[in-house]
């Protein structure tokens, strides 16, 4: 009986495993192989294995862009997560105020950015919000009598612009998740807390936050991964071919992409990719364990 299950199970799994191997596993292995070669535009087919030089170059070279990109990525992820959780929590809390009759309308309207395809949102913001001539922000600044600002011109302001856009795109998911979690809390708890004389903040601290934590934790971990992997926003806003905006902002992902598709240094790009993969695996093992312990 057991044996029959075994063969049948693997039979059912074969198509899926086959396509996953071809499309995901093999390219990763191949990237690993490329990372130890000197493959580049000049060595497209006559490349040779050079060992761990690319890794050394990414990690230990004095002015390593990789390390500064890693720092940017960590800062980007941390800031985004703190703001998303904080603002998302406040908005969801507001939505759950008793007797707020228009709750459903507000919630639906706030969900709209989530529904718009990401690349369309980014391209619309690039011209519609940030552009010097067409952008809403610059039109507003002009109306108020200020000078125009190029929102993508240097690293600091480009980082802030990218973050504003990321918040716009990602907050709806956070609000929806926290809103769902808040509704799962038993109303009776609040009533008895009121009888015990607990204030607004006391209730939030001792009832709301512990109540929503088990639901929010997996969603927060997932969003952290997505934020860490975020590529589209920085790439489409500041690095489109022929439209470099002057900012040299790079996260690790855009750095790997740039090495592969712009400076055509495939070996180095492969090394950066493999290093990232290791970071991500370690991080996911770590968070998986802490989630299970909760």
Partner 1 sequence: MRRISKRKHREKIRLVTLNFIFIILCFVTLIPIFYTLSVSFSGQGAALSGSLSFLPENPTLENYRAILLDEPFLLWLKNSLILSVGTITISMICAVPAAYAVSRWRFPGRCGILKALLVLNAFPQVLSMFALFRVLKTLGLLNSHIGLMMIYAGSMCVFAIWNMKGYFDTIPVDIEEASKIDGANNTQMILRIVLPLAKPAITVTCVMVLITVWNEYLFATTFLLDSDSYSLAGGLYQLQSNDYSRSWPMFTAASVLASAPLLLIFFKIQKYMVSGLTAGGVKG
Instruction: Work out how close the CB of 188 gets to partner 1 at its nearest, in angstroms, rounded to a whole number.
Output: 20
* Binding of partner 1 by 10 (CB under 8 A): yes
* Binding of partner 1 by 116 (CB under 8 A): yes
Instruction: Work out how close the CB of 84 gets to partner 1 at its nearest, in angstroms, rounded to a whole number.
Output: 14
* Nearer Cβ to partner 1 (153/180): 180
Which of 184, 192, 284, 290 touches partner 1 by CB under 8 A? Answer: 284
Give 234-286 as a DSSP string. Answer: HHHHH--TT---S-----HHHHHHHHHHTS--HHHHHHHHHHHHHHHHHHHHH
Return the HEC string of 21-44.
HHHHHHHHHHHHHHHCECCCCCCC
* Binding of partner 1 by 257 (CB under 8 A): yes
Which of 37, 38, 54, 269 touches partner 1 by CB under 8 A? Answer: 269
* Site residue total, partner 1 (CB under 8 A): 97
Please name the residues in contact with 10: beta carbons below 8 A apart, sequence gap of 6 or more. Answer: none
* Binding of partner 1 by 17 (CB under 8 A): yes
Site string for partner 1, 159-178 (x = CB under 8 A): ---------x----x--xx-
* Nearer Cβ to partner 1 (62/145): 145
Phi (first) and psi of residue 169, to 5 degrees = -80, -30
Angle between the N-to-C axes of helices 266-293 and 209-229, in degrees from 0 to 180, rounded to the nearest 10: 170
Quote the DSSP letter at residue 48: -
* Binding of partner 1 by 263 (CB under 8 A): no
* Binding of partner 1 by 292 (CB under 8 A): yes
* Nearer Cβ to partner 1 (24/50): 24
26-34, 59-67, 77-85, 202-210 -> range binding partner 1 (CB under 8 A)? 26-34
Its sign, for the CA torsion 136, 154, 113, 92, is negative
Query: How many Å apart are CA 175 and CA 107, to the nearest integer?
Result: 9
* Binding of partner 1 by 136 (CB under 8 A): yes
Quote the DSSP letter at residue 185: S
* Binding of partner 1 by 23 (CB under 8 A): yes
* Binding of partner 1 by 120 (CB under 8 A): yes
Please name the residues in contact with 267: beta carbons below 8 A apart, sequence gap of 6 or more. Answer: 34, 35, 36, 37, 38, 39, 40, 47, 50, 53, 54
Instruction: Work out how close the CB of 103 gets to partner 1 at its nearest, in angstroms, rounded to a whole number.
Output: 9
Which of 53, 65, 180, 189 touches partner 1 by CB under 8 A? Answer: 180
36 backbone φψ class: left, alpha, beta (φ>0; ψ -120 to 50): alpha
Task: Give residues 205-234 in contact with partner 1 (rule: CB under 8 A).
Answer: 215, 218-219, 221-222, 225, 229, 231-232
Task: Give residues 52-111 in contact with partner 1 (rule: CB under 8 A).
Answer: 91, 94-95, 97, 99-100, 102, 106, 108-111
Its sign, for the CA torsion 258, 262, 268, 270, is positive
Which of 13, 50, 56, 156 touches partner 1 by CB under 8 A? Answer: 13
Whole-angstrom CA distances from 68 to 52, 64, 150 are 21, 7, 24
């Amino acid at each position: 009986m057991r044996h029959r299950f075994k063969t049948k199970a693997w039979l059912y799994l074969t198509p899926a495993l086959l396509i996953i191997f071809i499309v995901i596993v093999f390219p990763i292995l191949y990237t690993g192989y490329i990372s130890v070669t000197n493959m580049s535009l000049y060595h497209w087919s006559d490349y040779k294995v050079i060992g761990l030089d690319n890794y050394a170059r990414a990690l230990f070279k004095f002015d390593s862009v990789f390390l500064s990109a890693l720092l940017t990525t960590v800062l980007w992820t941390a800031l985004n997560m703190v703001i998303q959780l904080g603002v998302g929590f406040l908005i969801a809390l507001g939505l759950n105020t008793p007797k707020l009759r228009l709750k459903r309308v507000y919630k639906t309207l706030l969900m709209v950015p989530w529904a718009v395809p990401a690349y369309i949102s980014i391209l619309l913001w690039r011209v519609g919000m940030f552009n010097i001539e067409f952008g809403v922000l610059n039109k507003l600044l002009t109306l108020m009598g200020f000078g125009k600002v190029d929102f993508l011109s240097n690293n600091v302001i480009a980082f802030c612009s990218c973050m504003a856009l990321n918040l716009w795109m990602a907050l709806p998911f956070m609000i929806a998740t926290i809103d769902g979690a808040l509704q799962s809390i038993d109303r009776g708890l609040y009533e008895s807390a009121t009888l015990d004389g607990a204030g607004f903040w006391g209730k939030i601290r001792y009832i709301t936050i512990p109540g929503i934590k088990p639901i929010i934790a997996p969603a927060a971990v997932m969003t952290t991964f997505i934020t860490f992997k975020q590529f589209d926003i920085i790439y489409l806003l500041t690095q489109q071919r022929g439209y470099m905006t002057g900012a040299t902002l790079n996260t690790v992902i855009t750095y790997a992409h740039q090495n592969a598709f712009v400076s055509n240094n495939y070996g180095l790009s492969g090394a950066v990719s493999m290093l990232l993969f290791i970071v991500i695996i370690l991080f996911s093992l770590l968070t998986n364990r802490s989630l299970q312990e909760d």
